Amino acid sequence: MTKVKEVIVVEGKDDTKQILKAVDADTYETNGSAISADDITRLQKLQQRRGLIVFTDPDFNGERIRKIISQAIPGVKHAFIKRDEGVPTEAHGSLGVEHASPAVIRASLAHVYTQAASPAPTFSSRDLQAAGLVGQADSRKRRERLGQLLKIGYGNGKQLVHRLNMFQITRDDFNQAIQQINQEAKDE
C-alpha cells in the first residue's frame, strides 16, 4: 500500500476510513466546516513538519474548509474528487470523499496541486470567455469538465480564474483540456 508522507486533511471519520482503504496515511479531521483557531495552529505545525494535503468533499462546506485553510496556511497541497465520484451507492447519504472508491482516492492523491504563495496571474476572465467557459448556454458544463480534466474541481467563472492561477495551471495544459472539451462536444 502506498505511503503518503503528508497529513491528509479530511472532514470526518468516515473520510478517514475511506482514505485508509486506499493508502497508508495520517489524517486530520476537521469535524465539519467549523475550523477553529486551534485547528489552524495545529495544521500550521503539521504543514511545517510534514506537509498537508487538503482533501475535502466537492460541495459548499468542503470548498469553505479548503478556502479557510488555503488562506491561513501557504503552500498546502490540494486533492480533488469529481462530484460523481463521491456519490453514495444508496439513494440517501451525503456527497463526498467517504463514498469515493480506493482507486479514485489513489488517483486523486497522485494528482495533487500545490497552492502558489502569490500566484502571478496567467489567466483572466477574457481567457474563459474565449474558451466558451462563460457567457454561453453550455458554459457551466464546460467549466465542470475543465475542472475534471485539470483535477482542480468545479468553480464559477470568477472561482475558475482564481483556481487556474492559484494552482499554476500552464497555458499548454489549459489549451489541451479545452481542445478535448471541444472534441467531446463535436462527438456528442
Assess if CATH 1.10.3480.10 describes domain 3-114. no
- Dihedral (CA of 130, 134, 138, 143) sign: positive
Cα angle for residues 21, 26, 27 (degrees, 5° grid): 90
Q: Is the pLDDT of residue 116 over 80?
A: no
Strands (E), 11-136: 24-29, 52-54, 77-78, 113-114
**Is 44 within 8 Å of 63 (Cβ atoms)?**
no
Q: Is the pLDDT of residue 115 over 80?
A: no
pLDDT in tens, 37-81: 999 999 999 999 999 999 998 888 888 899 899 889 988 999 988
Task: Kindly report, as residue ranges, where domains of CATH 3.40.1360.10 are found in the chain.
Answer: 3-114
* pTM of this structure: 0.68
Read off the pLDDT band of 102 (50, 70, 90).
Answer: very high
